[in-house]
A and B are shown apart, each in its own frame.
Chain A
Amino acid sequence: EDKVVQSPLSLVVHEGDTVTLNCSYEVTNFRSLLWYKQEKKAPTFLFMLTSSGIEKKSGRLSSILDKKELFSILNITATQTGDSAVYLCAVEKNNNNDMRFGAGTRLTVKP
């Protein structure tokens, strides 16, 4: 059975803190791992990771994938209140492009 597990489920930090969100997976026919940020409506795409050990970076956000240990982390440095959201991890599969989403991590950044 495919699994995508995110931790922690929720996290409260103060502005300026650095956070690390975790996503572990057990999925057959792995194709890629995706990170999304969901504030109100549709999740906003952040990163797609396909290769191990290659960090993807966008501003204060960065992510890396470990295909041997089957996990990915999303780092956010110098957090701001605008970073408050649910961060979703999803694994895309090769066959049929099925996606398996984790339950998300709810991040709250306090002023």
Chain B
Amino acid sequence: GAVVSQHPSRVICKSGTSVKIECRSLDFQATTMFWYRQFPKQSLMLMATSNEGSKATYEQGVEKDKFLINHASLTLSTLTVTSAHPEDSSFYICSAHRGNTDTQYFGPGTRLTVL
């Protein structure tokens, strides 16, 4: 089956630093990837849609200058949390669309803790 990986799985950083999270589709090409953030009670919020070779589409309320998304290739999208603050601490999950299908394959998530 399709596999999506995320790296790192866990990161702890100081307030004010930037953190990059990678999302890779390991055995398929993903023209579209999605970035989610998990909130309490297991709810997931879509942050942005990442399209290969073009700018990401951000959801309302998500600061594009703070959460930089780059989809440089058909197998890699990155999310950079710039000038991280403790309130950015969360679980970030990516998913990837496989080819022309509607199926999304989710990564295992990245736990970010900002001290």
Query: Using a CB–CB distance below 8 Å, which chain A residues touch chain B?
Result: 34, 36, 38, 41-45, 48, 86, 88, 90, 92, 96-101, 103-104, 106
Residue of A nearest to B1 (CB): A103
Cross-chain contact of A41 among B46, B91, B93 (Cβ < 8 A)? B46
Q: Is the CB of B106 within 8 A of A101?
A: yes
Would you mind naming 17 contact pairs between A and B with Cβ atoms under 8 Å apart? A34-B42, A36-B44, A38-B104, A41-B46, A42-B36, A42-B43, A42-B44, A43-B44, A96-B9, A96-B10, A97-B91, A97-B111, A99-B91, A99-B93, A103-B1, A103-B103, A104-B104
* A96: chain B residues within 8 A (beta carbon): 9-10, 111
Q: Is the CB of A97 within 8 A of B109?
A: yes
Q: Is the CB of B106 within 8 A of A99?
A: yes
Cross-chain contact of B105 among A48, A97, A103 (Cβ < 8 A)? A103
> What's the dominant secondary structure at chain A's contact region?
strand
* B41: chain A residues within 8 A (beta carbon): 45
Q: Is the CB of B109 within 8 A of A104?
A: no
Q: How large is the interface on B (under 10, 10 to 19, 20 to 34, 35 or more residues)?
A: 20 to 34
Measured between alpha carbons, how far is A97 from B110 in the docked complex, in Å?
9
* A86: chain B residues within 8 A (beta carbon): 102, 104
Instruction: Identify which of A36, A38, A42, A103 gathers the most chain B CB atoms within 10 Å of its CB.
Output: A42
Known pairs A41-B59, A99-B93; A90 contacts B106 (CB<8 A): yes
Apart from A36-B44, A41-B46, A44-B43: 4 A-B pairs, beta carbons within 8 A: A34-B42, A43-B36, A99-B106, A103-B1
* A103: chain B residues within 8 A (beta carbon): 1-2, 103, 105
A13 to chain B, nearest CB (A): 18
B92 to chain A, nearest CB (A): 11
